[in-house]
Chain A
Amino acid sequence: MTLVPIIKRDYIVNLAKQGKRIDGRKFDQYRNIEIETNIIKKAEGSARVKLGNTQVLAGIKMDVGEPYPDSPDSGVMTTAAELIPLASPDFESGPPQQDAIELARVVDRGVRESQVIELDKLCIEPGEKVWIVFIDIHILDYDGNLFDAASIATLAALSTTQVPATRFELGEDYPLPIKEPPISCTSIKIDDFVMLDPILDEEEIADARLTVATDNNGDLRAMQKGLNGSFTREEIQKVIKTSLDNGQEIRKHLYKNLGK
């Protein structure tokens, strides 16, 4: 470990012992979320999410293509994330690296496994023609917690998506059929302190990370643990509790922004 992270870690841990965080938040307090939708004219749906200083843009494009042979009557979705050099001095352009792939896969799973997009309604001709939904996530400014920012942006973008049927001469445009999405909340652990929604400085020195996705009924829908540290049973339960409470708040905020 080089010197700067050691100093930073000392600083963060000392603050935590007094019950404080660098930016003055409580341990279980989320940053302010701003959501703007339909900002990209060329995209079928789009959303920019600001989570404190983190900024993520999700754009949805749709196309007509062939279904997979094992699911001939359902649409296809793909997710890609780009950690573009705009967002951080450490990001480089080129083919997606490990981190971008993990991010895209976690967001993809959140949408796919809880069937947020009703893919079975996106069939045009069984076995021949279906709609393909491309989710592209661009990180614009990186100050920690990309998992949550990217998934909120994706959900907001999906809920404003219009299927471009007119462009493909398949009738009128209509809203993309989607179901109520689960909301994910990420916490990190430094020494014995568990903090919700880490900023970059906290994320860089974290021992362990846990993302918990919860649905409207208060049930758990997905989890992903990361980094080489560990959580105790009690800590996990506490993280889940925090994620449930904050998940509800984020959901309300999201719906309010979408005008639902």
Chain B
Amino acid sequence: MKTEDVKLIDAKGIRLDGRKIDELRPIKIESGVLHRADGSCYLEWGGNKVFAAVYGPREAIPRHTQNPLRAIVNAKYNMAAFSVEDRKRPGPDRRSREISKVISEALEKVILTEQFPRSMIDVAIEVLDAEAGTRCAGLTAAGVALADAGIPMIDIPVGCAAGKIGGKVVLDLGKEEDNFGDADVPLGISPRTGEIILLQMDGHLTFDEFNTALDYAIEGCNKVSKLQKEALLRKYDTIKEGK
């Protein structure tokens, strides 16, 4: 199928799934969902279903990975074999290794790693059902799980993508939009300061289009950030009510 064959956006600016140009897919976040983890999060973002769990800080092993001045952050992004249309072979591949790396680096920016020399903080991100935008969903879930684990951070990191479909810049690409769209810009920010901690792009955008996409994505991040904080507070509400 070619791009022209699919009408991703109509004249009124309504997209395939009925969303407006700057509208997010429905998002649901829960914190503290796993018993064994030090902190955890379950997130549904459109058709994505993602778990994140935090273990640590604990002694970094193997020993040669230890940094005497700060903690290392190991995010591991993994997709379940049944999360995609054609079964994915279990285990890490080149794509998931790359995503793990960019998410680890984004998290290192916000975590106060210098408080835990020679330690490691493990963040496991598990994608159970995938439908475009899993790395942003993963980063967002990781942020909630880290906060739930009580890891000191300068901010709760959050991710959201923008892109271009049918000649228009839009927020938060869905499945068809990702497959047949013109460009995809996943973004991660530290919402308090607006600093960009994760940025990738593929496709084709003009400079102006890129700036619009960036504005949309930052706006999206800020909306998702609110949901993250609500999810964290909700956990303590239920404790207060003795549920």
A84 within 8 A of B: yes
Q: A40: nearest residue on chain B (CB-CB)?
A: B129
Do A140 and B78 have beta carbons less than 8 Å apart? no
- CB of A256, distance to nearest CB on chain B (Å): 24
A75 within 8 A of B: no
Do A53 and B35 have beta carbons less than 8 Å apart? yes
- Total interface residues on B, using CB and 8 Å? 32
Contact A93:B92 (CB < 8 A) given known A42-B85, A59-B81, A61-B81: yes
Do B84 and A42 have beta carbons less than 8 Å apart? yes
Do A85 and B122 have beta carbons less than 8 Å apart? yes
Do A57 and B128 have beta carbons less than 8 Å apart? yes
Name B's interface SS.
Answer: loop
One of A86, A93, A136 near B37 (C-beta < 8 A): A86
One of B36, B53, B125, B129 near A41 (C-beta < 8 A): B129
B15 within 8 A of A: no
List CB contacts (< 8 Å) of B71-115 with chain A: 76, 78, 80-87, 90-92
Do B90 and A136 have beta carbons less than 8 Å apart? yes
- CB of B204, distance to nearest CB on chain A (Å): 28
Q: Which of B49, B51, B52, B82 lies at the interface centre, i.e. has the most chain A CB atoms within 10 A of its CB?
A: B82
Do A95 and B87 have beta carbons less than 8 Å apart? no
Residues from chain A with Cβ under 8 Å of B36 in the complex: 53, 87-89, 141-143, 200
List CB contacts (< 8 Å) of B23-52 with chain A: 34-37, 47, 49, 51-52
B124 within 8 A of A: yes
- CB of A39, distance to nearest CB on chain B (Å): 7
Residues from chain A with Cβ under 8 Å of B125 in the complex: 86
B229 within 8 A of A: no
Residues from chain A with Cβ under 8 Å of B84 in the complex: 42
- CB of A47, distance to nearest CB on chain B (Å): 11
B55 within 8 A of A: yes
Do B130 and A85 have beta carbons less than 8 Å apart? no
Residues from chain B with Cβ under 8 Å of A85 in the complex: 53, 55, 76, 122, 124
Do A138 and B53 have beta carbons less than 8 Å apart? no
Do A40 and B34 have beta carbons less than 8 Å apart? no
Q: B52: nearest residue on chain A (CB-CB)?
A: A86
- CB of A63, distance to nearest CB on chain B (Å): 6
Docked CA distance A59–B80 (Å) = 9
B126 within 8 A of A: yes
One of A40, A59, A89 near B55 (C-beta < 8 A): A89
> Which chain B residues have a beta carbon within 8 Å of chain A's beta carbons?
34-37, 47, 49, 51-53, 55, 58, 76, 78, 80-87, 90-92, 122, 124-126, 128-131
> Which chain A residues have a beta carbon within 8 Å of chain B's beta carbons?
39-44, 46, 53, 55, 57, 59-61, 63, 80, 82, 84-89, 93-96, 134, 136, 138, 140-143, 200
23 CB < 8 A contacts A-B: A39-B129, A40-B83, A40-B129, A41-B47, A41-B131, A42-B47, A43-B82, A43-B129, A55-B34, A61-B81, A61-B82, A80-B90, A85-B122, A85-B124, A87-B36, A94-B92, A136-B82, A138-B80, A141-B35, A141-B36, A141-B37, A143-B36, A200-B36
